[in-house]
């Protein structure tokens, strides 16, 4: 097999469109993932043993749901929740059609990262806040989320990178984006040059996300 | 506010029959047992005990960070154990607390740490700024307002803790081993600050410690706690000069020169007396005056002349050599001056 890397098959307008689609999927799903994951993570943390709203049964049930969602491979999850996706967005295709499965897959993952970061918050600081007359809501808002900020930023970075690879997989069922491009031209039509271009773009995207995340974590670390 | 008529003292904190047990698995540990404690407005009250004695548990019942298994907790006449959680949150704003490990928000500046309780109380931005500036000045941290806790020394961190605890003008300040993580010099600076706050602002202070030095430096009264029970309680001076319980004696010996009376007795040629005195007479030539008209000679074998909070005191072991008759006269002279003199046994 000879490889001719002349990029003769690459249609740059299509690459540009696919890049925009990938960024749109990533951006939208990341926003929803952060909101839902943060909520779920805070609830997981608060209801766990010895914490502010210790509710072992609630914690156990949420924990099971999170574990189930995290153990189903993304591609299968996507197919499984198609009816839900259709009900929410009206389609299972294109950028819109990929957002619900992306969020359903990434939010539980991010929620665990949130729970872990909140666990790192010094118990003494929480106690000091209680002693000053803080309500539980005050503690979540003014203590936990503040003190866990570097950990949460690191968690968002990991989640964003994970989402990039999910968006690529979403191409499998017509999600669009760079993954879709790579699959259609690179794999199905043996246009290796297209595959290489898309992979390079994905690598650059991941690299940029990681660098931005690391920068923010450093910027907000106070230890 | 509870008013104790015949003493004319306002009781700010009243703990009655407080017990707390912890259950770990099937075993239940009684951390504190049937403790009664009354603390008057304006006093500095110390609780001392060895590790595991139950000090922290007891202190934390005062603001219900630890809910006692039984008993009543009244602060400023309000029974805290009967309050709803939002009522309790309001009452807690009148009870400041500082901690051994400071427990500051690592992600907030000194200024924001001090502003924390003010934001909880929903003060206006301008009011918060004014108050924070006052507090920064009170604890001497104006120059460090925009630093983060990680950039401060231990003593400075504790100052932030104190400013934060005082922000909402509390009636009481609870101190959980507030100086145990500090070096001796910084400890003294923080103790001076606490004493100052007590005097200037009239804030009642309840502190726990395992260092007798802390008690001696700033406390008015002390309770010694051992195995979850109060084994001795009283004015610091009394407890210090006449410790009764073995645990108390142990703590007192931390700060006194330790000596073994048996050794002294064995090598003694005359009569050994232990003499205690308190107050201004500490600085008078007492011994000289007492022996002047006799032929009795004396030797000081052991002694401390020091201050407890603001009261000077002395504690000496003296050997008197001379005729029995005359020694009795000398001792009588000393007792006339208000000294306590007892045979060293
Ligand atoms: N959360 C808890 N669960 C179980 N046992 C506890 C708990 N907190 C305290 N205890 C027990 O209660 C007893 C008193 O503890 P406490 O922390 O009040 O002691 P302390 O006098 O403050 O000691 P230290 O000087 O070491 O801080 C100890 O035997 C301790 O093991
Ligand atoms: Mg303790």
Residues B314 and B203 occupy one common structural domain: no
DSSP sequence for B120-146: HTT--HHHHHHHHHHHHHHTT-GGGTT
Range A143-148 average pLDDT: 97
Which of B254, B284, B313 is at the close of a domain? B254
Residues B179 and B227 occupy one common structural domain: yes
Please indicate whether, in this complex, the C-beta atoms of A131 and B92 are within 8 angstroms of each other: yes
Q: How far is the CA of B223 from the centre of ligand 2 (A)?
A: 15
| Count, residues in chain B | 345
- Residue B10, pLDDT > 60, answer yes
For Cα atoms B150, A37, A66, give the angle at the middle one, nearest 5 degrees: 120
The CATH number of the domain holding residue B138 is 3.40.50.300
Strand B44-49 versus strand B2-4 pairing type:
unpaired
Instruction: Give the N- to C-terminal CA distance of chain A in Å, as an integer.
Output: 55
pLDDT band at B261 (very low <50, low <70, confident <90, very high): low
Residues B162 and B146 occupy one common structural domain: yes
> Which residues are bridge partners to B312 per DSSP?
B307
Range A197-213 average pLDDT: 94
Provide, as residue numbers in chain B, all residues whose Cβ is less than 8 Å from the Cβ of A52: none
CB contact at 8 A, A186 and A198? yes
Tell me, what's the pLDDT at B282? Answer: 85
CB-neighbour burial class of residue B74 (10 A; exposed 0-12, middle 13-18, buried 19+): buried
- Residue B1, pLDDT > 50, answer no
Range A121-150 average pLDDT: 97
Residues B235 and B312 occupy one common structural domain: no
CB contact at 8 A, B252 and B246? no
CB contact at 8 A, A98 and A179? no
Residues B91 and B205 occupy one common structural domain: yes
Domain that holds residue B94: 11-254
CA distance B131 to B114: 9
- Domains contained in chain B, number: 2
CB contact at 8 A, B49 and B226? yes
Which of B237, B254, B271 is at the close of a domain? B254
Range A149-174 average pLDDT: 91
Residues B236 and B275 occupy one common structural domain: no
For Cα atoms A106, A107, A113, give the angle at the middle one, nearest 5 degrees: 95
Nearest CB to B103; choose among A124, A135, A149 = A124
Residues B334 and B188 occupy one common structural domain: no
* Residues A25-51 as b or e (16 or more Cβ within 10 Å = b): bbebbbebbbebbbebbbbbbbbbeeb
Nearest CB to B105; choose among A135, A146, A220 = A146
B82 alpha-carbon distance from chain centroid: 29
Question: What is the three-class DSSP state of B65?
Answer: coil
- Residues within 8 A of B (CB atoms), A 120-149 only: 122, 124-125, 127-135, 138, 142-143, 146-147, 149
The CATH number of the domain holding residue B283 is 3.30.70.260
Residues B93 and B222 occupy one common structural domain: yes
In tens, the pLDDT along B167-195 reads: 999 999 999 999 999 999 999 999 999 99
ipTM of the complex, rounded to two decimals:
0.89
Sign of CA dihedral B81, B87, B88, B92: negative
Tell me, what's the pLDDT at B3? Answer: 45
Lowest mean pLDDT among A6-10, B175-179, B314-318: A6-10
Range A137-153 average pLDDT: 97
- Residue A5, pLDDT > 70, answer no
- Residue A2, pLDDT > 70, answer no
CB contact at 8 A, A134 and A143? yes
In tens, the pLDDT along A69-89 reads: 999 999 899 889 999 999 998
Residues B227 and B319 occupy one common structural domain: no
- Residue B345, pLDDT > 70, answer no
CB contact at 8 A, A45 and A51? yes
Of the two residues A6 and B91, the one the predictor is more confident about is B91
Which of B219, B235, B254 is at the close of a domain? B254
- Residue A121, pLDDT > 90, answer yes
CA distance B36 to B19: 10
Tell me, what's the pLDDT at B283? Answer: 86
CB-based contacts of A127: which residues, under 8 Å, 6+ apart? B65, B99, B103
Distance from the B235 Cα atom to the nearest Cα atom in chain A, whole angstroms: 29
Q: Calculate what percentage of chain A has a pLDDT beyond 70.
A: 97
* Average pLDDT of the residues of chain A: 91
CB contact at 8 A, A176 and A19? no
Range A45-52 average pLDDT: 94
Provide, as residue numbers in chain B, all residues whose Cβ is less than 8 Å from the Cβ of A223: 106, 150
Of the two residues A4 and B224, the one the predictor is more confident about is B224
In tens, the pLDDT along B14-71 reads: 999 999 999 888 899 999 999 999 999 999 999 999 999 999 999 999 999 999 999 9
Measured CB to CB, residues of chain B less than 8 Å from chain A are 63, 65, 85-86, 88-93, 95, 97, 99, 101, 103-108, 116-117, 119-121, 148-150, 164-165, 168, 174
- Residue A3, pLDDT > 60, answer no
Residues B127 and B224 occupy one common structural domain: yes
Instruction: For A147, name the nearest residue in chain B, comparing CA atoms only.
Output: B107
Overall CATH class of domain A13-220: mainly alpha
pLDDT band at B6 (very low <50, low <70, confident <90, very high): very low
| Tokens 């009261």, residue located | B311
- Residue A52, pLDDT > 50, answer yes
Tell me, what's the pLDDT at B4? Answer: 47
Residues B317 and B248 occupy one common structural domain: no
Residues B206 and B139 occupy one common structural domain: yes
CA torsion angle B41 B46 B52 B58 (round to 10): 0
In tens, the pLDDT along B56-109 reads: 999 999 999 999 999 999 999 999 999 999 999 999 999 999 999 999 999 999
CB-based contacts of B301: which residues, under 8 Å, 6+ apart? B264, B272, B317, B318, B319
* Average pLDDT of the residues of chain B: 91
Going from N- to C-terminal start, the domains of chain A cover: 13-220
Question: What is the three-class DSSP state of B330?
Answer: helix
Instruction: Please indicate, yes or no, if residue B2 is contained in any of the structural domains.
Output: no
Instruction: For A127, name the nearest residue in chain B, comparing CA atoms only.
Output: B65
Provide, as residue numbers in chain A, all residues whose Cβ is less than 8 Å from the Cβ of B65: 127, 130-131
Atom of ligand 1 nearest to the CA of B210: 25
Instruction: Please indicate, yes or no, if residue B220 is contained in any of the structural domains.
Output: yes
Q: Calculate what percentage of chain B has a pLDDT beyond 70.
A: 95
Provide, as residue numbers in chain A, all residues whose Cβ is less than 8 Å from the Cβ of B120: 132-134, 138, 142
Tell me, what's the pLDDT at A34? Answer: 98
pLDDT band at B5 (very low <50, low <70, confident <90, very high): very low
Q: How far is the CA of B29 from the centre of ligand 1 (A)?
A: 9
By most ligand atoms within 8 Å of CB, the mutation choice from B20, B22, B32 for ligand 1 is B22
Tell me, what's the pLDDT at B2? Answer: 47
pLDDT band at A216 (very low <50, low <70, confident <90, very high): very high
Tell me, what's the pLDDT at B9? Answer: 64
Distance from the B168 Cα atom to the nearest Cα atom in chain A, whole angstroms: 9
Q: Calculate what percentage of chain A has a pLDDT beyond 90.
A: 68
As given in the structure block, the two tokens for residue B298 are 């004396």
Lowest mean pLDDT among B95-99, B128-132, B180-184, B335-339: B335-339
Please indicate whether, in this complex, the C-beta atoms of A143 and B90 are within 8 angstroms of each other: no
- Residue A48, pLDDT > 50, answer yes
CA distance B316 to B343: 12
Instruction: Give the N- to C-terminal CA distance of chain B in Å, as an integer.
Output: 48
């Amino acid at each position: 097999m000879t490889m001719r890397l002349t990029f003769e098959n690459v249609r740059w307008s299509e690459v540009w469109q696919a890049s925009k689609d990938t960024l749109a999927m990533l951006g939208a799903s990341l926003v929803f993932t952060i909101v839902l994951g943060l909520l779920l993570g805070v609830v997981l943390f608060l209801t766990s043993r010895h914490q502010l709203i210790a509710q072992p049964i609630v914690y156990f049930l949420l924990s099971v749901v999170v574990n189930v969602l995290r153990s189903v491979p993304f591609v299968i999850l996507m197919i499984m929740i198609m009816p839900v996706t259709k009900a929410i967005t009206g389609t299972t295709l294109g950028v819109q059609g990929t957002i619900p499965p992306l969020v359903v897959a990434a939010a539980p993952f991010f929620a665990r990262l949130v729970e872990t970061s909140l666990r790192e918050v010094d118990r003494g600081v929480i106690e000091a806040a209680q002693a000053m007359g803080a309500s539980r809501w005050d503690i979540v808002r003014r203590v936990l989320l503040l003190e866990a900020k570097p950990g949460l930023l690191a968690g968002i970075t990991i989640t964003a990178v994970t989402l990039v690879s999910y968006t690529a997989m979403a191409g499998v069922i017509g999600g669009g984006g760079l993954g879709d491009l790579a699959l259609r031209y690179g794999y199905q039509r043996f246009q290796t040059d297209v595959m290489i271009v898309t992979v390079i773009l994905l690598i650059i995207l991941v690299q940029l996300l990681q660098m931005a995340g690391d920068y923010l974590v450093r910027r907000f670390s106070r230890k | 506010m509870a008013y104790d008529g015949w003493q004319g003292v306002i009781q700010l904190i009243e703990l009655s029959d407080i017990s707390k047990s912890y259950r770990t698995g099937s075993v239940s540990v009684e951390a504190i047992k049937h403790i009664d404690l009354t603390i008057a407005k304006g006093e500095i009250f110390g609780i001392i005990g060895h590790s595991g004695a139950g000090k922290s548990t007891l202190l934390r019942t005062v603001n219900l960070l630890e809910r006692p298994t039984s008993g009543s907790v009244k602060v400023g006449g309000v029974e805290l154990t009967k309050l709803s959680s939002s009522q309790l949150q309001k009452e807690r704003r009148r009870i400041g607390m500082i901690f051994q490990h400071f427990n500051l928000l690592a992600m907030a500046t000194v200024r924001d740490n001090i502003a924390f309780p003010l934001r909880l109380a929903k003060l206006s931005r301008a009011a918060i700024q004014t108050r924070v500036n006052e507090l920064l000045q009170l604890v001497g941290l104006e120059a460090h307002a925009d630093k983060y806790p990680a950039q401060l020394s231990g003593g400075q961190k504790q100052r932030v803790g104190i400013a934060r605890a005082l922000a909402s003008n509390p009636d009481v300040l609870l101190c959980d081993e507030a100086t145990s993580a500090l070096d001796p010099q910084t400890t003294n600076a923080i103790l001076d600050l606490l004493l100052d706050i007590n005097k200037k602002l009239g804030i009642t202070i309840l502190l726990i410690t395992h260092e007798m030095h802390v008690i001696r430096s700033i406390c008015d009264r002390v309770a010694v706690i051992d195995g979850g029970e109060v084994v001795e309680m009283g004015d610091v001076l009394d407890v210090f000069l006449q410790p009764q319980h073995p645990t108390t004696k142990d703590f007192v010996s931390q700060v006194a020169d330790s000596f073994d009376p048996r050794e002294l007795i064995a090598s003694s040629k005359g009569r050994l007396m232990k003499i205690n005195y308190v107050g201004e007479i500490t600085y008078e030539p007492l011994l000289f005056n007492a022996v002047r008209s006799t032929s009795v000679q004396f030797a000081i074998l052991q002694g401390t002349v020091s201050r407890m909070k603001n009261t000077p005191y002395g504690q000496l072991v003296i050997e008197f050599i001379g005729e029995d008759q005359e020694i009795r006269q000398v001792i009588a002279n000393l007792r006339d001056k208000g000294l306590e003199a007892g045979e060293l046994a």
